[in-house]
């Protein structure tokens, strides 16, 4: 039936969207991990320079301190942008999920009436909800926020 084919295509599209989202989340996580690693490396170098008494520092060491502070600041700003971007993406995906759930609900109701006999129980007539977003996705966003973000980690 054309309705069944259309419904199956919608389910396949939904699965594709979930996979694309997961890929995007993994890319966010990889970028976040790399930024945190870079920040840690720079902070370690900065701590080594700060440990030197001010009177014993050369002009080059003082300049390097300033450079490191600027680099760390830029990386933190970049990471903040990454976290903000991930949040905007999450909100957009929530809206898409709602729209897809509404679409599938509308499509499932007419199909349900055609494929089920009137003698079927009410419990059987309930439409199966669309596949939900994997819970791993929320975990990925939480990891991004936990590392140097809203809740301070060991790096910061």
DSSP for residue 133: P
Task: Tell me what pLDDT residue 72 has.
Answer: 96
How large is the average pLDDT for residues 17-27?
91
Distance between CA atoms of residues 52 and 75, nearest Å: 24
Domain residues of the chain, as ranges? 1-113
How large is the average pLDDT for residues 25-30?
92
* Per-residue pLDDT tens over the stretch 142-153: 444 444 444 444
Distance between CA atoms of residues 24 and 21, nearest Å: 5
Residue 127: pLDDT above 70? Answer: no
| Token pair for 24 | 């995007």
- How many residues does the structure list for the chain? 156
| Token pair for 138 | 């929320």
């Amino acid at each position: 039936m054309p309705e069944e084919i259309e419904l199956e295509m919608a389910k396949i599209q939904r699965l594709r969207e979930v996979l694309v989202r997961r890929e995007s989340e993994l890319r966010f996580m990889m970028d976040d991990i790399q930024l945190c690693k870079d920040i840690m490396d720079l902070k370690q170098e900065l701590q080594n320079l700060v440990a030197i008494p001010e009177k014993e520092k050369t002009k080059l060491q003082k300049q390097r301190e300033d450079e490191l502070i600027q680099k760390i600041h830029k990386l933190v700003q970049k990471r903040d942008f990454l976290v903000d971007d991930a949040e905007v993406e999450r909100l957009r995906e929530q809206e898409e999920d709602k729209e897809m759930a509404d679409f599938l609900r509308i499509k499932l109701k007419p199909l349900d009436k055609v494929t089920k006999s009137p003698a079927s129980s009410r419990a059987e007539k309930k439409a199966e909800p669309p596949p939900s977003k994997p819970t791993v996705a929320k975990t990925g966003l939480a990891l991004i926020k936990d590392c140097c973000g809203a809740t301070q980690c060991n790096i910061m």
